[in-house]
């Protein structure tokens, strides 16, 4: 039975990080990863016109999981969180954030960095729902950092993902579209409402970061007819979007294995491995921690995956590690003796 494996760690081999590491990176030796990169078919992640493709986390996840289009984030997550979910509704995420003044703009800090308690989130949501009751806009609680809106009819609104604006200025990233003016006003009102809320008064007194805004994103309706079913696939990650996508596509999911030995090829015919814990903290790693992560990748995963290719227990291996390329390698590719130039 043929086995296909995709190993995906977005942003790991970021070119800026490699340049900053300089000699510390060049002194490292990654023989298994070098062999895989040298022998593989190489696919630049850009269009024929030389322009970057849509390479955000969600579009890439759907491409790697063989979906014909990107599943809308809010609806995909909501499908697994709410028992009364319906694909007829138009879903949005409206997540709690901190807006930090920086000269003449605001920098967004995502809710995952704010240590938001469930009681704080629900108190803010209650005030929001009371304030916008006449507008029939109501937040539904998913988790302390995952809030949702459901709207009965689609609206013309285009947003930037939370990841795209995290730790960056929101200038030029506000919602656009015919409905944008109303929603921009709503975001401003919510910020004023939250600023004076007792939750933030308490957090300020305790020296904690404020929850003084919300970010609107992930809009869309879920089209079940467009889903490509993957009954023989397994996603190894605890990322909520990946887990929700697996459920919608009749695939299975399980947390990323702590060790290579905890991973089994027998769990399915197609495997998508995404170490979510490392991905979430990647931006905050020190240079030493980043280099240690590369050692972990080489020893814990690349060496065993190369061995499985040599033994023909894997028929197809796809690597995407954030260097702007996608690498595909099959057992017969290992015989490409003329490939000697290092790509890393």
Q: What is the pLDDT of residue 103?
A: 85
pLDDT digits (tens, 9 = 90+) for 162-208: 999 999 999 999 999 999 999 999 999 999 999 999 999 999 999 99
Total domain count, the chain: 2
Confidence class for position 337, pLDDT limits 50, 70, 90 = confident
Mean pLDDT of the 67-83 span: 96
pTM above 0.85, yes or no: yes
- Where is the domain boundary, 185, 220, 255? 220
Look at the chain and count its residues: 344
pLDDT at 58 over 60: yes
Task: Please indicate, yes or no, whether residues 128 and 20 belong to a single structural domain of this protein.
Answer: no
Note whether residue 342 is domain-resident: no
Task: Please indicate, yes or no, whether residues 115 and 133 belong to a single structural domain of this protein.
Answer: yes
Q: Which residue has the higher pLDDT, 260 or 52?
A: 260
Q: Which run of H or of E encompasses 208?
A: none
Residue 340: half-sphere exposure toward Cβ, Cα within 13 Å: 2
pLDDT at 13 over 80: yes
Distance separating alpha carbons of residues 162 and 175, to the nearest angstrom = 12
Mean pLDDT of the 233-260 span: 96
Contacts of 312 (CB under 8 A, 6+ apart): 331
Angle of CA points 26, 29, 35, to nearest 5°: 115
pLDDT at 143 over 80: yes
Mean pLDDT of the 91-109 span: 95
Q: How far is CA 113 from CA 8, 284, 343, in A?
A: 24, 11, 35
pLDDT digits (tens, 9 = 90+) for 312-330: 999 999 999 999 999 999 9
pLDDT at 50 over 50: no
The percent helix, strand, coil of the chain (3-state, each to 5) is 40, 20, 40
Task: Please indicate, yes or no, whether residues 214 and 92 belong to a single structural domain of this protein.
Answer: yes
Residue 184: both structure tokens together = 């921009």
What does the CA dihedral 139, 143, 144, 149 come to, rounded to 10 degrees? -20
Note whether residue 340 is domain-resident: no
Distance separating alpha carbons of residues 118 and 46, to the nearest angstrom = 41
Task: Please indicate, yes or no, whether residues 55 and 90 belong to a single structural domain of this protein.
Answer: no
Distance separating alpha carbons of residues 145 and 240, to the nearest angstrom = 12
Residues 32, 35, 36, 42: is their CA dihedral positive or negative?
positive
Note whether residue 29 is domain-resident: yes
Task: Please indicate, yes or no, whether residues 286 and 313 belong to a single structural domain of this protein.
Answer: yes
Q: For residue 329, what are the β-bridge partners? A: 317
Rg (CA), the chain: 22
| CB distance 177 to 157 below 8 Å | yes
Angle of CA points 10, 331, 323, to nearest 5°: 20
Q: What is the pLDDT of residue 267?
A: 86
Task: Please indicate, yes or no, whether residues 299 and 271 belong to a single structural domain of this protein.
Answer: yes
Give percent of the chain with pLDDT exceeding 90: 86
Residues 142, 57, 212, 118: is their CA dihedral positive or negative?
positive
Domain hosting residue 317, numbered range: 4-69+227-335
Mean pLDDT of the 31-43 span: 94
pLDDT at 114 over 50: yes
Note whether residue 111 is domain-resident: yes
| CB distance 7 to 301 below 8 Å | yes
Residue 231: both structure tokens together = 């009954």
For the chain, the straight-line distance linking the first and the last C-alpha, in angstroms and rounded, comes to: 32
Contacts of 91 (CB under 8 A, 6+ apart): 72, 74, 75, 78, 148, 149, 150, 151, 218, 219, 220, 221, 222
Instruction: Give the SS3 label for residue 119.
Output: helix
Residue 225: both structure tokens together = 């007819």
| CB distance 137 to 186 below 8 Å | yes
- Where is the domain boundary, 159, 191, 220? 220
pLDDT at 48 over 70: no
Give the burial class of 291: count Cβ atoms within 10 A of its Cβ; 0-12 exposed, 13-18 middle, 19 or more buried.
middle
Q: What is the pLDDT of residue 46?
A: 67
Task: Please indicate, yes or no, whether residues 101 and 189 belong to a single structural domain of this protein.
Answer: yes
State the average pLDDT for the chain: 93
Q: What is the pLDDT of residue 245?
A: 98
Instruction: Give the SS3 label for residue 151.
Output: strand
Mean pLDDT of the 12-34 span: 91
Exposure string (b/e) for 90-105, b if CB count within 10 Å is 16 or more? bbbbbbbbbbbeeeee
Give percent of the chain with pLDDT exceeding 70: 97
Task: Please indicate, yes or no, whether residues 314 and 280 belong to a single structural domain of this protein.
Answer: yes
Lowest mean pLDDT among 39-48, 56-65, 311-320: 39-48
**Residue 14, domain CATH:** 3.40.720.10
Task: Please indicate, yes or no, whether residues 253 and 166 belong to a single structural domain of this protein.
Answer: no
């Amino acid at each position: 039975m043929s086995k296909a494996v995709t190993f995906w760690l977005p942003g790991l081999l970021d070119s800026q990080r490699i340049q900053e590491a300089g000699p510390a990176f060049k002194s490292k030796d990654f023989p298994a990863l070098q062999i895989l990169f040298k022998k593989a078919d190489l696919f630049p992640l850009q269009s024929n016109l030389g322009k970057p493709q849509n390479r955000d986390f969600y579009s890439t996840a759907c491409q790697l999981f063989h979906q014909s289009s990107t599943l809308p984030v809010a609806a995909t997550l909501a499908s697994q969180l709410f028992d009364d979910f319906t694909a007829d509704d138009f879903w949005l995420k409206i997540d709690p954030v901190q807006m930090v003044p920086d000269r003449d703009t605001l920098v967004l800090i995502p809710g995952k960095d704010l240590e938001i308690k469930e009681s704080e989130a629900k108190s803010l949501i209650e005030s929001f729902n009371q304030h916008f009751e006449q507008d029939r806009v109501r937040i539904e609680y998913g988790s302390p950092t995952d809030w949702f809106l459901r709207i009965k009819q689609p609206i013309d609104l285009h947003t930037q993902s939370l990841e795209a604006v995290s730790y960056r200025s929101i200038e030029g990233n506000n919602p656009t579209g015919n409905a944008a003016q109303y929603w921009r006003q709503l975001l401003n009102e919510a910020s004023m409402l939250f600023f004076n809320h007792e939750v933030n008064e308490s957090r300020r007194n305790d020296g904690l970061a404020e929850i003084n805004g919300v970010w609107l994103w992930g809009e869309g309706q879920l089209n079940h007819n467009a889903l490509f079913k993957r009954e023989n696939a397994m996603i190894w990650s605890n990322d909520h979007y990946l887990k929700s996508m697996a459920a919608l596509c009749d695939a299975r999911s399980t947390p990323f294995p702590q060790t290579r030995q905890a991973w089994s090829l027998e769990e399915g015919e197609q495997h998508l491995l995404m170490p979510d814990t490392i991905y979430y903290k990647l931006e905050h790693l020190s240079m030493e921690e980043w280099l240690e992560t590369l050692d972990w990748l080489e020893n814990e995963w690349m060496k065993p995956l190369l061995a499985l290719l040599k033994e023909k227990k894997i028929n197809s291996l796809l690597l995407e590690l954030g260097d702007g390329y996608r690498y595909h390698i099959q057992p017969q590719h290992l015989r490409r003796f003329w490939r000697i130039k290092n790509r890393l």
